Structure formats: structure tokens, C-alpha cells
Amino acid sequence: EVQLVESGGGLVQPGGSLRLSCAASGFTFSAYWMHWVRQAPGKGLVWVSRVNGDGSSINYADSVKGRFTISRDNGKNTLYLQMNSLRAEDTAVYYCTRFYGWYESFDTWGQGTLVTVSS
Amino acid sequence: QSVLTQPASVSGSPGQPITISCTGTSSDAGTYNLVSWFQHHPGKAPKLMIYEGSKRPSGVSNRFSGSKSGNTASLTISGLQAEDEADYYCCSYERNSTFWYVLFGGGTKLTVL
């Protein structure tokens, strides 16, 4: 079964850091682009970042560029999101998702991990 | 940057059809061929319902269908059921100066009366 499981969320003070992880199973992890998408409380889905299969191509939304770093460890089948200089507006549930080229869309999502930035 | 506009809410009675629209501001009509629709029950993982505008992934009920006209994509659910009550998001892409940017609509809350 194709599965994504996020972890690492929690409460952090403004200006703090947090690293999210997304453990993948049931598919050849290194063959897929992987993305992070977030949802602030009461708001819609917003794309955050993406990385290609070998980690050589990376993009970010303007709102997180320079503060967040996406990476992956294909040996551990794990996707990461290092979040620094966190702000209140980064409070959200963070989802990792697999981009499936045949569909040109996101076919598998994790359940999400909640990040709360507050003093 | 383009915006995908969805109605904030729609409602319908069991057995009735409903349609959710997603209107984009991009001048690149080609991106609308890549519109996806996701169903999201709060607290759960989003689920892909439609890809490439009108195609259904394996396992998705044929009560869900997608279409597009000009810069507007639509999701239609025929024969509403209680379990269809959820938030629905459209998704597409826009090319900025360096890469294809992922856009989501603001979401539509579907209430089954």
C-alpha cells in the first residue's frame, strides 16, 4: 500500500525552528517528485515546496523562500522540511504529497502534521 | 500570479446533482487541461477525485465528473450522498519565470442537506 506519514509538528515560538519528516512506503520513493502543501486554520490548501527524485531540483513558494529548506533521503525513503525563522502565519497543518506524472497531479497524501507558531 | 476562484459554499439534497466551478485568471488556456479536483474531509488526507480536467483515478465513483470551458473548470457530483459532504479544491499550474507554480483554489464547502 502506498503510504505517506508526516511527523515532527508541534508548538514553537516565533523565530524558532522545526523539522518535519514524511516517511514514504509502498512505492519507489526516489522515482517521484515530492511536495509539501499546508493549510492554515480555517483556510485553504497552499503549495509550499517541491523536490525532484534525486534532490537536484527544488522550488519554493515566495512566502517561505529563504526560511524553509526541503530535502530528501532516498536511502531512508523520507522527505524533510526544515523550517527556520518561523512566523505566526506559518501556523498550519503541513501535508506531504506525491506527484504522479501519469496523472499530472497529486495522487497520494499524508494525514498531515500540525505546526503552531505562538508565544 | 494567477488566482483560482471557487464559490465558498454549495449545498444540495441527497440524490441531486451539484456543480462547483473554478475560474482562473491565467491567459494560458493550456494549464486548464491540467486541472485536478481534491476532496478533503477535515482531519483526513485530501483525495484526488479528478485529474487532467475530466479523468477519474481508479476507485473514484463515476458520480464525480469534471469539465472545462474557457478559463473555468467544473466539478459535478451527481446523485449526492451524505458522505460527499466535504471541502473541495481545484488545482492547476502556472508558469512563472523559472518553474511551474502550483495553484489551489480557495476551496468550496459542500453541504448535503
Q: Tens of pLDDT along A35-92?
A: 999 999 999 999 999 999 999 999 999 999 999 999 999 999 999 999 999 999 999 9
For residue B17, pLDDT beyond 90: yes
Calculate the CA A68 to chain-centre distance: 10
**Mean pLDDT (chain A, rounded):** 97
**Predicted confidence (pLDDT) per residue in B55-68, tens digit:** 999 999 999 999 99
Cβ separation of B52 and A103 shorter than 8 Å?
A: yes
Q: Find which of A3, A105, A108 to mutate to test the B interface (most B CBs within 10 Å of its CB).
A: A105
Average the pLDDT over B25-41 and give the result: 77
Sign of CA dihedral B31, B33, B34, B39: positive
Chain A environment of B104 (Cβ under 8 Å): 37, 44-47
Cβ separation of B46 and A47 shorter than 8 Å?
A: no
Cell (9 digits) for A28? 519507489
Report the pLDDT value the prediction gives residue B63, as an integer from 0 to 100. 98
> Percent of chain A having pLDDT more than 70?
100
For residue B21, pLDDT beyond 80: yes
For residue B29, pLDDT beyond 50: no
Which residue from B minimizes the CA distance to A103? Answer: B51
Report the pLDDT value the prediction gives residue B26, as an integer from 0 to 100. 66
Average the pLDDT over B83-106 and give the result: 90
Cell (9 digits) for A17? 525552528
For residue B31, pLDDT beyond 80: no
Q: How far does A108 lie from chain B, in Å, by closest CA?
A: 7
**Mean pLDDT (chain B, rounded):** 91
For residue B93, pLDDT beyond 60: yes
Q: How far does B3 lie from chain A, in Å, by closest CA?
A: 12
Average the pLDDT over B44-62 and give the result: 96
Cβ separation of B52 and A110 shorter than 8 Å?
A: no
Alpha carbon distance A83, A36 (integer Å): 12
More confident residue, B34 or B41: B41
Cell (9 digits) for B93? 499550474
Q: In what order do the strands lie in the sheet with B64-69?
A: B4-5, B18-24, B72-77, B64-69
Query: Collapsing DSSP states into helix, strand and coil, what is residue B39?
Result: strand
Average the pLDDT over B70-92 and give the result: 95
Task: Print the SS3 string covering B57-113.
Answer: CCCCCCCEEEEEECCEEEEEECCCCHHHCEEEEEEEEEECCCCEEEEECCCEEEEEC
Q: Does B31 lie at the interface with A, CB-CB under 8 angstroms?
A: no
Average the pLDDT over A10-39 and give the result: 98
Q: Find which of B2, B47, B50, B102 to mutate to test the A interface (most A CBs within 10 Å of its CB).
A: B102
Alpha carbon distance A10, A60 (integer Å): 22
